[in-house]
Amino acid sequence: MGKGSGYAKVILFGEHFVVYGLPAIGVALAKKTDVEVSKSQHMRVESSHADASLLNGLEAIKNAMGIKDSFVVKIKSEIPLGSGLGSSAAVSVAYVRALADEYGLQLTGEQISAYAYEAEKVYHGTPSGIDNTLASSGGAIFYQNTDGKSAVKPLNVGKPLNIVIGNTGKKQGSTAEIIAAVRGRREKNPGIYEDLFNAERKVIDGAVKAIEHGDPAALGELMNINHGLLSAMGVSTKENGDIIYAARVFGAYGAKITGAGMGGSCVILAKNEKNAEDIANEIRKMGYLAITSVVQ
Ligand code: MEV
């Protein structure tokens, strides 16, 4: 039997833009997925949230690793599906680690992430690779993928970040569909999108400094600007907006969608732990899910 885990991630800056080669900033959260593999006659998944495409993704990973055996794959996850927290990437990374454990393979973080990416392509079409990178690396990272080559730089977090994740539970469409819709809108207005991209580059420059210098107020303001740009790209819904505005009214430094959007999760930077709990409770009162986490 082999065992492995993968982390949940939250993108603080740059989702969608990262698909076009712009940088993004993400952090891993203290929530994980555990996978156990035991050899078997046929591939079988035991999980509360498995679907047919999951098996295709697991097959893609096995093929890339050159493994011919079949397994019973047991998945236990603390990460809600379709939550914008990279649940699929966490499963893929955990599965690669479990296979490596089963066969006694010593893989680097980069290799684990690259194998996991094979499944991400099956699920999401043209993913940037940030989800599998964060699911395998942990910590806070600056991430960029240009022409299929990814550059990853760990970031120092100057001051702990009190994060709230709000989830509407009403994501409209798959990540692949949402990425395709953005691509279509960009093709209609390439000049305007170029301006949005340039604004995002400045947002990311500022965000790296704000994270490393420990300036959460500046960081929150940049999150608000990033949300405005994502809204302009058409990936925010009324429910996302409700969570984001409630968080801002409750004193958050900043709030935005995180991940693909369209009703998926929002990330909120709270002033402190108490403020994070108050915001999370307010989101729950609105009938949505909320979790709090500290990034340090
Ligand atoms: C999904 O978590 C983030 C997106 O930018 C897609 C990707 O990076 O592959 C929307």
Residues of the chain with pLDDT under 50: none
Residues 92 and 236 reside in one and the same domain: no
Full domain range(s) for residue 15: 2-154
Tens of pLDDT, residues 239-283: 999 999 999 999 999 999 999 999 989 999 999 999 999 999 999
Residues 186 and 241 reside in one and the same domain: yes
Estimate to the nearest angstrom the gap between the alpha carbon of 257 and the chain centroid: 11
The reply to whether ligand 1 has any atom less than 6 angstroms from the CB of 171 is no
Ligand 1 atom nearest 131 alpha carbon: 2
Residues 171 and 288 reside in one and the same domain: yes
Residues 166 and 147 reside in one and the same domain: no
Residue 289 tokens read as 């899910």
Write down the pTM of the prediction: 0.86
Residues 215 and 284 reside in one and the same domain: yes
Residues 100 and 182 reside in one and the same domain: no
Pick the last residue of a domain from 112, 138, 154: 154
Pick the last residue of a domain from 98, 130, 154: 154
In this structure, what DSSP letter does residue 23 have?
A: -
Q: Looking at the DSSP assignment, which residues form a beta bridge with residue 290?
A: 166
Task: Name all contacts of 45-50 with Cβ < 8 Å and 24+ positions apart.
Answer: 45/72, 45/73, 45/75, 46/72, 46/73, 46/74, 46/75, 47/73, 47/74, 47/75, 47/76, 47/77, 49/77, 49/81, 50/75
Nearest CA owner, ligand 1 atom 9 = 127
**Residues labelled catalytic:** 131
Residues 166 and 150 reside in one and the same domain: no
Residues 204 and 89 reside in one and the same domain: no
**pLDDT value of residue 233:** 98
Residue 286 tokens read as 């609105």
Number of structural domains the chain divides into = 2
Pick the last residue of a domain from 154, 175, 202: 154
In this structure, what DSSP letter does residue 251 have?
A: T
Nearest CA owner, ligand 1 atom 2 = 259
